[in-house]
């Protein structure tokens, strides 16, 4: 096992999300205590419905100085902000509209450009400026994982995985196997700037993918979570018992 990796298993999904939200709040607080500010990257999926509401409500909501938090997205479905598939829209509904963050602290992927490559270029510029202002590191990157092993919008064996230019922080993903097919993702290089990468995964349908992700060997192109190895940070896997069922160590 990677030494900079920690695995925690919780009996039930409710407990998993509660402990994961508490852990993320601690990481944000510690970033603010130590450096005066925090930069966090959010994903969509079940984090939106299960984890973000816990950050947006007492007691965690009151434990964070939200005026010091900047928020980017680990990935986005390339649909307009008012589309029900849009991660930013969903995240506002369960999280961002319920905490005191100003519009200039939140950096949605600009899906209003006709050319997604232009959006990727602009998002990369925004992220570069944020990283510069935050000592080169995302403080917390929150990630999920699909039953197929994808994370953010990095899908197993997708041709884009081998075509990401060195140093690119964002990438356009077309033909994603999970709808909608057009997406924009942070790259492994961007996610690997994180001090803490937190994978939160629940459910028996993820058990095989979790076991493959945590096995000692495996092909990173088939298991994109293997591409996530922070340069100066730790990967935390937070699992419920069902998702951890096939992990052997
Ligand atoms: C997306 C997500 C995606 C998600 C995983 C896990 O927009 O599709 O950002 O990467 O995190 O698909 O989603 P679940 O937790 O809902 O399975």
Cα–Cα distance, 93 to 97 (Å, whole number): 6
Q: What is the pLDDT of residue 59?
A: 98
Model confidence pLDDT, tens digit, residues 123-149: 999 999 999 999 999 999 999 999 999
Cα of 177 from ligand 1 centre, angstroms:
12
pLDDT at 1 over 50: no
The answer to whether the CB of 91 falls within 8 A of the CB of 49 is no
> Mean pLDDT over residues 108-131, rounded?
98
pLDDT at 3 over 80: no
> Mean pLDDT over residues 3-9, rounded?
90
* Residue whose CA lies nearest to ligand 1 atom number 16: 45
Nearest Cα residue to 134 out of 63, 234, 232: 232
The best mutation among 44, 152, 171, 242 to test binding of ligand 1, ranked by most ligand atoms within 8 Å of the C-beta, falls on 44
Mean pLDDT of the chain: 97
Cα of 191 from ligand 1 centre, angstroms:
15
Q: What is the pLDDT of residue 40?
A: 98
Q: What is the pLDDT of residue 2?
A: 52
pLDDT at 56 over 50: yes
Q: Is 59 exposed, middle or buried (0-12, 13-18, 19+ CB in 10 A)?
A: exposed
Q: What is the pLDDT of residue 46?
A: 97
Cα–Cα distance, 6 to 72 (Å, whole number): 24
pLDDT at 172 over 90: yes
pLDDT at 249 over 80: no
Strands 183-186 and 75-77: antiparallel
The answer to whether the CB of 150 falls within 8 A of the CB of 209 is no
- Going by pLDDT thresholds of 50, 70 and 90, the confidence category of residue 210 is very high
Cα of 87 from ligand 1 centre, angstroms:
10
Q: What is the pLDDT of residue 248?
A: 85
Q: Is 56 in the pocket of ligand 1 (CB under 6 A)?
A: no
- Going by pLDDT thresholds of 50, 70 and 90, the confidence category of residue 217 is confident
The best mutation among 17, 45, 200 to test binding of ligand 1, ranked by most ligand atoms within 8 Å of the C-beta, falls on 45
Cα of 43 from ligand 1 centre, angstroms:
7
Q: Is 45 in the pocket of ligand 1 (CB under 6 A)?
A: yes
Model confidence pLDDT, tens digit, residues 227-247: 999 999 999 999 999 999 999
Q: What is the pLDDT of residue 185?
A: 98
Question: Which residues, 6+ apart, have CB-to-CB distance to 213 below 8 Å?
Answer: 145, 149, 223, 225, 226, 237
Cα of 146 from ligand 1 centre, angstroms:
6
User: pLDDT exceeding 70 applies to what percent of the chain?
Assistant: 98
């Amino acid at each position: 096992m990677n030494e900079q990796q920690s695995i925690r298993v919780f009996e039930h999904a409710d407990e998993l999300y509660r402990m994961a939200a508490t852990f993320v709040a601690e990481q944000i607080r510690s970033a603010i205590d130590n450096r005066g500010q925090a930069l966090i990257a959010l994903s969509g999926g079940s984090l939106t419905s299960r984890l973000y509401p816990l950050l947006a409500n007492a007691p965690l909501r009151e434990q964070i100085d939200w005026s010091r938090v900047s928020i980017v997205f680990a990935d986005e479905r390339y649909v307009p902000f008012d589309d029900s598939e849009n991660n930013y829209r969903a995240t506002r509904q369960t999280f961002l509209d319920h905490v005191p963050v100003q519009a200039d602290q939140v950096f949605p992927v600009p899906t209003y450009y006709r050319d997604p490559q232009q959006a990727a270029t602009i998002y990369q510029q925004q992220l570069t400026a944020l990283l510069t202002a935050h000592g080169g590191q995302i403080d917390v990157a929150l990630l999920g994982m699909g039953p197929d092993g994808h994370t953010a919008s990095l899908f197993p064996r997708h041709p884009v995985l081998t075509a990401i230019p060195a140093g690119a922080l964002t990438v356009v993903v077309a033909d994603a196997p999970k709808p909608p097919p057009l997406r924009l993702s942070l790259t492994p290089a961007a996610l690997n700037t994180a001090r803490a990468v937190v994978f939160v995964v629940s459910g028996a349908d993820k058990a095989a993918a979790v076991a493959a992700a945590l096995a000692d060997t495996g092909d990173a192109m088939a298991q994109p979570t293997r591409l996530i190895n922070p340069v100066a940070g730790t990967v935390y896997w937070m699992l419920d018992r069902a998702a951890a069922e096939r992990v052997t160590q």
